[in-house]
């Protein structure tokens, strides 16, 4: 395999520990395997190590920044809306919205702030979307 960074053709397979750190949190991944370039230091993890690396990266982000996806889901459930309904209200694609909830994509900060605002003031929803009406408990009137 050729180094994608410098073109050196002598990549060396190594097994080593990788330390991930972010904003004061750190996490060590043991026995990570990959091909490394002795010239420039570029490395490519094998499939399994790469998966572990991305999972650890997501975990460390959650530890530092909180689980925003879970926050969004909680707020949506509290508003008694489906992903489709809430994504329409805020004007975001349904697919993107479900990725935010699953933590696959980090939601834009303004969206998170908006949803936290709506969490405290659910009546604002009807202003954001003229067609949206808050769901009320079914009432029997006599």
**Binding footprint of Zn ion on the chain (CB under 5 A):** 3, 5-6, 8, 37, 39-40, 42
Rounded-to-integer distance, Cα 105 and Cα 63, Å: 16
CA–CA gap between residue 121 and residue 115 (Å, rounded)? 10
C-beta of 8 vs 129, nearer to Zn ion = 8
Of the two residues 1 and 70, which places its CB atom closer to Zn ion in the complex?
1
Q: Which is nearer to Zn ion, 37 or 115 (CB)?
A: 37
- Min dist. Cβ of residue 37 to Zn ion (A): 3
C-alpha 89/C-alpha 133 separation (Å) is 11
Q: Encoding tokens for residue 28?
A: 């060590």
Minimum CB–partner distance for residue 44 and Zn ion (Å): 10
Distance CA 118, CA 27 (A): 35
Helix, strand or coil for residue 36? strand
Nearest distance in Å: CB 76, Zn ion: 46
């Amino acid at each position: 395999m050729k180094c994608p960074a410098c073109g050196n053709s002598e990549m060396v397979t190594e097994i080593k520990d990788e330390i991930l750190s972010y904003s004061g949190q750190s996490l060590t991944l043991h026995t990570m395997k990959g091909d490394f370039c002795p010239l420039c230091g570029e490395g490519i993890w094998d499939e399994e190590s790469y998966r572990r690396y991305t999972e650890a990266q997501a975990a460390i982000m959650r530890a530092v920044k909180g689980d925003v996806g879970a926050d969004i889901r909680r707020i949506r459930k509290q508003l008694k809306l489906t992903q489709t309904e809430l994504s329409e209200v805020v004007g975001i694609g349904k697919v993107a919205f479900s990725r935010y909830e699953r933590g696959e994509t980090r939601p834009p900060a303004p969206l998170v702030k908006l949803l936290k605002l709506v969490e405290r003031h659910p009546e604002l929803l009807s202003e954001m979307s003229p067609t949206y009406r808050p769901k009320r408990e079914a009432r029997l009137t006599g």
